[in-house]
Structure 1
C-alpha cells in the first residue's frame, strides 16, 4: 500500500500523511528534520549534518541520541509507513521523495513562520532560504514535474501557400531536421515538430503556441517555389514577448534540395543556439541570483563559464550553485558544477587544487547517483579523472561508457579525442573530434570544439590545420590558455619561429603566472610525445 506525505513550508509548517485517517507530525524538531530532508538533493542528508543543524548546541553525543530518538518517535507515529518514507543507514537519513508532495506557496505566509526551532545551524539554514524568493518557490514544487532547468524550443513545419503536397512534406521535413539538430545539445529542451504539426495547419498565434507547447522560443517560416529554386524564410521568435529576434532567407536549387538542406540549416540552428545563450546571459546580467528564472540559470551559468573574463567565470559558479539548490535532482546541473571545478584549476584561479579536485569528483558522483545512465555525467566524471587525477585509463572507461549509452554525446567524442591526443594517437584523435564537431554544429561554445580539435591535429603532426583551428578558436575566445599553447607549438613546427615567439609573448602577457615547470608537472599530456613537442616549442619561444 502506497502512502503520500504532504508538506507545507509557508505560514504554518505542516507535515501529514494524506488521506482519510492520515496522521500529522506535530513535534517542532520532527517537522524541521523532515523539512531538511525534503529540501536536500535526493532527499538525503548525513546524520552529522542533521545533528549539528538541529542539536548543534547540545554536543555530539547528545545530538546523536536526540536524532535517534526523533527517528524512533517518527517510526512509532507512522507505523509501517515509516519504512516506505524513510531509509536510514549508520551515516545517512533519506526521505523517499517519490512519496512526498509539496503543498501551498509563499502567499500562505512567511517561510517556516511558526516552526519554533532556533538552534544556530537551523536559523542560519532557514535565513539562507528566506532571503531567496526563487529558491523558496522551487522548494514548493515537485522537482520532477515543475522545474524547468533548460529553455524550451520548437520548430513549426514551414507554412506553404496553396495545395502543393510535396512542398508541404518538405516543409515538415525542414522542421524535423531543425529539431533533430537542436536536440543534440543538452542545454535546451526541444519539443518535437510532431507536437507542433497540428498548430501549423492554421494561422499561427504566438500566445496559443506558448500555452499549448509551453515553449520559450520557436522557429517558424514559409517555403515556396521561385524560378527553379526552393526559397525558405525563417523567423526566430521569443514566445514570451512575441518579438522576432532574427530572420534568415535561404535558397536552394530544387534538384539538390535534399542533399543541400543539412548544410543550409547550420546557420539557422547555430543562430538559434547562440541567441538563446545570449538571452540567458542578458537575463542574468542585471538581476540578483534569486530573481533569475529557473530555465535561464543553467544556460547562463554554462555560458559565462566558457567566457574569458574572470568575473564571468566566478559569476557562473553563483548561477550553477543556485540552479543546483533549486533543482537538486537534475543530474546535468551537478555535472556542470563538476566541470566548473575542473576549469577553476585549469584556469589557474583556484587557491586550493585538492579542494577543487574533490568538489569536482563529488559533483560528478552526485550526478551519477541521480542518473547512473547520464552520458553527460559519465563524460564529466571522465574529464575529472583525466585532467585532474591523471587517471587516463579510468577516464577512457568513462568516455566509452558514455558513448555506449549515447553514441551521439558530442562532448564524449570531443574529450575522448583529446585523450587520444594525450596518448599520441593523432589519427584516432582527429576522427573523434571530427565526429564531435559533426554531432554538435550548434554548440554555443564552438571555440572549445575548435581548440580541442586543434590539439588533435597537433598530435597527428598536421600543424597547418592545427594552426587554422587554433586561430579560429581564438577569434571567439582569445584568452583560452590551452589554445594559445597549441598555437605556439603549431607556429614553431611550421617553421614560423618569429611568429611562435610573438605568440608566446602574447600568452605570457595574458597569463604572467604560467610556468613551464607547472605544465610539465600537472598536465596529463606532459610526458607524451605530443606534450614533449609542446614543451620544446614553448622553450624555443622563450617561455620559462
Structure 2
C-alpha cells in the first residue's frame, strides 16, 4: 500500500519515503513511527500506544520519543512550529492531520532498478543450492542443510539483505547465468557452491560472485568428516559466513569509492567512514569521524554509525592523537551510550559501542556483557570476538582472551583489522608470562601497522624483558615519537588494565627499554 500526502509518498511494502519525487533516507524506527501515525490518522495516538507499536513496549525516554517525532516532521517537510502534517495534542499525544489518499503498489520496478535501489540502501545476497557432486543423491539433503545454515547465519548480519531460501532454491538443478540471477532476485552478490563426498570425507567449495559484473570475489574449500554431520554443517556455515561477510563489506567499500557522488546516502557515508577507519592512521580516523557524523545527520537512528564514531574517538585517544582529550572522551562516551541505546539487537553497534564504552568508563564487566550479547546475536562476527578478547585481556582473563583472538582470526583470516587481533593476542601472552610469544605476535602486528602505539610499546617492553636492549631502545624512540606524553607512571590511565601485576610487568619492560617515569 502507498500513502500519498502533501508532496510525499509513503510506500509500506518497499519501506520507502519519497518527497518531491526524491528519496528520503530515514531510520527504521522513524519510518515505523510515521507509518503508524498515517495508518491511525483518524484519531489521536498516545505516547504509550506509539511506544507499544514502534518499540514493542520497551522503555523509551521522553527525549528519544521527541527526537523521533522531530525526525518524522523533518522527513516530510513539517516542523514543530507549523505542525501542518503532525499535530501535537497537549496531554494526549499526536495526530497525523494531512489529507491522505491510498493507492495499491504499482508493478514491481524493473529488475535493474531493483538492484540499484538495494545497492543504495544495503548490500544484498542470494545463496543458491549447492551442487551435489558426490554421485549419491541421498547426500543432497546434507548440501541443502549447509545452505540453510549459511542463509540463517547470514541473516544475523543486520547490514546485509539475504534472499529467503524459498526464492533462492527455485534455481535448483538449473544452469543459470549468475548475472541473470542477480537481476531476477534483485541482489548484488550471489554465493554458489558444490559438495563432494568421498567415503566419510565431505568437501564443500564455495565462491562469492559480484552479480553486477560476474566477478569472482572469493573462493574457498572446506573439508570434514561425516561422523558428526550437524557439527560439520555448523562448522562449514560459520567458516563461510565468517569469510564472506568481510568480503562483501570490502566490495561495498570499493564500490562507494568508485562512486563520484560523495555521501549521497547514509549508507554511502557509512561505507566511506569504514574505509577510513580500516586505514587506522591519524588523518584517516579524523576523516572517518566526519563521515560517520554525516551518516548520523542523514539517519539519526543509525546505531552502527554512532558506534563507529565512538570507536574512532577511542582509537584517537589510545594512540595519543587527541588535541582536546576531554572533548574527545566526552563525545566518544556520548556516541557509545547512544549506540548501545539504539542498537540493543544490533551486533555491530554493540561490538564497537560496547568496546568504546568500556574504555571511556573503565567498566570492563559491562563492556564484556555487551560484547557477549553481540556474539550471541551474530556468532560469526569477527570484530565481536577480537574486541571482546581485548576487554578480557584488560580484565585479566588471558587464556579466554587468546581463544577469542584465535576464533576471530579463523573467522576472518584476511581481515583488514588483522593487525588489531595480532596486537591483542600479543598483549594477552605478555600478561600470561609468555614473553617470547608476545614479542612474536607484536612484531607481526607492527609490520601491518607501524603507527599502532600499543603494539610499538609492546615491542619495546617485550624486547627489553627478553634482553634485546638495543632493539628495545629503538622501539622506545618510536613510542616517544608517536606519543611524547606517554610515561611509565601514566600507563594505567592510558589502558584500562585491571590487574596491578599486569601493569607492573608491562611497565617494567618499558622502564628497562628507557621510557621515562
Q: TM-score, normalised by structure 1?
A: 0.66
Does residue 83 (structure 1) correspond to residue 65 (structure 2)? The answer is: no
Sort the Cα spacing of 1:19 and 1:42 in 2 relative to 1 into closer, same or farther, 3 A: closer
Deviation of 1:223 after TM superposition, in Å, equals 4.1
Deviation of 1:482 after TM superposition, in Å, equals 1.6
Partner Cα separation in structure 2 for residue 253 and residue 412 of structure 1? 26
What secondary structure sits across from 1:201 in the alignment? coil
Sort the Cα spacing of 1:508 and 1:252 in 2 relative to 1 into closer, same or farther, 3 A: same
Alignment partner, residue 295 of structure 2: 323
1:18-51 residue CA offsets vs partner (Å, 9 max, x unmatched): 699989xxxxxxxxxxxxx9xx96344799x9xx
Select which of 168, 177, 199 maps to 2:171: 199
Alignment partner, residue 387 of structure 1: 359
Select which of 454, 457, 464 maps to 1:492: 464
Partner Cα separation in structure 2 for residue 487 and residue 283 of structure 1? 37
Deviation of 1:363 after TM superposition, in Å, equals 2.0
Does residue 272 (structure 1) correspond to residue 244 (structure 2)? The answer is: yes
What secondary structure sits across from 1:470 in the alignment? helix
Partner Cα separation in structure 1 for residue 41 and residue 124 of structure 2? 42
Contact 2:423-2:445 within 8 A present in 1 as well: yes
1:334-349 paired onto structure 2 within 5 Å = 334-349=306-321
What secondary structure sits across from 1:306 in the alignment? helix
Does residue 539 (structure 1) correspond to residue 511 (structure 2)? The answer is: yes
Structure 2: 5+ residue stretches without partners:
9-18, 23-33, 44-62, 104-116
Partner Cα separation in structure 2 for residue 474 and residue 5 of structure 1? 58
Alignment partner, residue 13 of structure 2: none
Alignment partner, residue 422 of structure 1: 394
- Structure number with greater Rg is 1
RMSD over aligned Cα, in angstroms? Answer: 5.0
Partner Cα separation in structure 2 for residue 186 and residue 445 of structure 1? 20
Alignment partner, residue 422 of structure 2: 450
Structure 1: 5+ residue stretches without partners:
24-36, 55-66, 87-94, 104-144
What secondary structure sits across from 1:245 in the alignment? strand
Aligned length, in residue pairs: 452
Select which of 127, 130, 136 maps to 1:164: 136
Q: Which stretch of structure 1 is more off in the superposition, 201-210 or 229-238?
A: 229-238
What secondary structure sits across from 1:290 in the alignment? coil
Does residue 352 (structure 1) correspond to residue 378 (structure 2)? The answer is: no
Select which of 421, 425, 443 maps to 1:471: 443
Alignment partner, residue 135 of structure 1: none
Sort the Cα spacing of 1:277 and 1:447 in 2 relative to 1 into closer, same or farther, 3 A: farther
Sort the Cα spacing of 1:246 and 1:525 in 2 relative to 1 into closer, same or farther, 3 A: closer
Partner Cα separation in structure 1 for residue 465 and residue 201 of structure 2? 47
Contact 1:184-1:440 within 8 A present in 2 as well: no
Alignment partner, residue 106 of structure 2: none
Contact 2:119-2:188 within 8 A present in 1 as well: no
Sort the Cα spacing of 1:235 and 1:318 in 2 relative to 1 into closer, same or farther, 3 A: same
Sort the Cα spacing of 1:209 and 1:406 in 2 relative to 1 into closer, same or farther, 3 A: closer
Sort the Cα spacing of 1:205 and 1:80 in 2 relative to 1 into closer, same or farther, 3 A: farther
What secondary structure sits across from 1:466 in the alignment? helix
1:63-462 paired onto structure 2 within 5 Å = 70=82, 83-85=93-95, 150-160=122-132, 164-176=136-148, 178-179=150-151, 188-191=160-163, 195-224=167-196, 234-248=206-220, 250=221, 252=223, 272-288=244-260, 290=262, 295-392=267-364, 394-396=366-368, 398-399=370-371, 411-434=383-406, 437=409, 443-462=415-434
What secondary structure sits across from 2:262 in the alignment? helix
Q: TM-score, normalised by structure 2?
A: 0.68
Contact 1:269-1:442 within 8 A present in 2 as well: no
Contact 1:210-1:216 within 8 A present in 2 as well: yes
Partner Cα separation in structure 2 for residue 101 and residue 444 of structure 1? 50
What secondary structure sits across from 1:241 in the alignment? coil
Select which of 508, 515, 525 maps to 2:486: 515
1:71-113 residue CA offsets vs partner (Å, 9 max, x unmatched): 6x888x7879982448xxxxxxxx9xxxx9999xxxxxxxxxx
1:479-505 residue CA offsets vs partner (Å, 9 max, x unmatched): 222222223323333343343333334
Contact 2:134-2:198 within 8 A present in 1 as well: no
Partner Cα separation in structure 1 for residue 347 and residue 40 of structure 2? 43
